[in-house]
Amino acid sequence: MRLATWNVNSVKARLPRLLGWLAEKEPDVVCLQETKCPADAFPAEEVAALGYATAAHGDGRWNGVALLSRVGLEEVSAGFPGEPGFDSARGTVTATPEPRAVGATCGGLRMWSIYAPNGRALGSPHYAYKLAWFAAFGEAVRAELRAGRAVVACGDFNVAPTDADVWDPAVFAGSTHVTPAEREALAGLRALGLRDVVPTPMKGPHPFTYWDYRAGMFHKDMGMRIDLVYAAAGVAERVRSAYVDREARKGKGPSDHAPVVVELT
C-alpha cells in the first residue's frame, strides 16, 4: 500500500498539478491539507476519474483537509471528539472546531489527515489554541489505539520535531514550530505508541517538506520538516520506504510544501 500526505495550499489552484501527480505516483491513500475549499465544492469528480473516493472537510477559508482513497473509505469523521476551535474576533479558544482534521478507515488503516494550527506567536491566544488542539487530538488518538485501531496520522503538524528539522535553529529562536511545548505535544503522540516515519530526502541531507516562497529558499534548501507521518507501531513496522517528493515542489505555481510518500508491505 502506498500512502501520501501533501499540503497543497489550495486544491483548486493546484488541481492540475494534483491530478497529474496522482496519475503518475498512484498512491492508494492521500491526505491533503490546506485545501481552502468548502466540502461540497471539493473536486471529487475529477479525482474519482482516477479511481479515488473522497472525504473532504472544509469551509472555504484558509483551512480544509481531505482524504482520497482507492482502497475503501469508511467510518468518516469530520473532526475528532473534543476538538477545540478558535474565535478570531474574540481571540479565544472555543468548542466550535475549524476544519482541521478528517478521519476514515482505508484498507484497514485508521487514517487521519490533519492540519494543525499555526500558533503564530509565543504567548498569543493562537499559540494556546495550538497546544489545546494537540492535547485533544492526543486523547482522540489514545482512544482509537486502545480500541485496536491501526492509526496513521498524516499532515501538516506545523511543528519541527527536532533542531535537525529546520535549516538553521538560530533563525527560529523565539518562534513557534520549534518550542519545547510544541515538541512535547509531538512527544506525547509518540508516547501513546505512534512512530515518526522519517522520509528520505531526494536531494541533500535534510528531509525538509516545506520551503517559504520568498528569497529562493527552496533552491537554497532553507526549509523545515513539518509535514509528518505518525503511524501506530504495527503500521510503522510495515514501512518499506518513505521519501519527500521534492520534484512536486518545482516548476510553475507549486505549493510551498512537498508530498511525503510512504510505501507499506
The pLDDT value given to residue 61 = 85
Q: Residue 102 in contact with residue 78, Cβ under 8 Å? A: yes
Write the pLDDT tens digit of every residue in 164-212.
999 999 999 999 999 999 999 999 999 999 999 999 998 889 999 999 9
Determine the Cα–Cα distance for residues 182 and 187; give it in Å rounded to an integer.
9
The mean pLDDT of 98-108, rounded to a whole number, is: 98
Is the pLDDT reported for residue 215 higher than 90? no
Task: Name the average pLDDT for the chain.
Answer: 97
Is the pLDDT reported for residue 62 higher than 90? no
Query: How far, in Å, are 51, 91, 247, 248, 249 from residue 17 at the CA level?
Result: 17, 36, 11, 8, 10
| pTM confidence score | 0.98
DSSP string, 53-122: EEEEE--SSS--EEEEESS--EEEEES-TT--EEETTTTEEESS--S-EEEEEETTEEEEEEE-----ST
Q: For residue 201, which phi and psi values (nearest 5 degrees)?
A: -75, 145
Is the pLDDT reported for residue 156 higher than 90? yes
Which 8-state DSSP code applies to residue 199? Answer: P
Q: How many CB atoms lie within 10 A of CB 31?
A: 32
In sequence order, the 6+-apart residues with CB closer than 8 A to the CB of 108 are 150
In sequence order, the 6+-apart residues with CB closer than 8 A to the CB of 54 are 42, 44, 47, 48, 66, 67, 68, 73
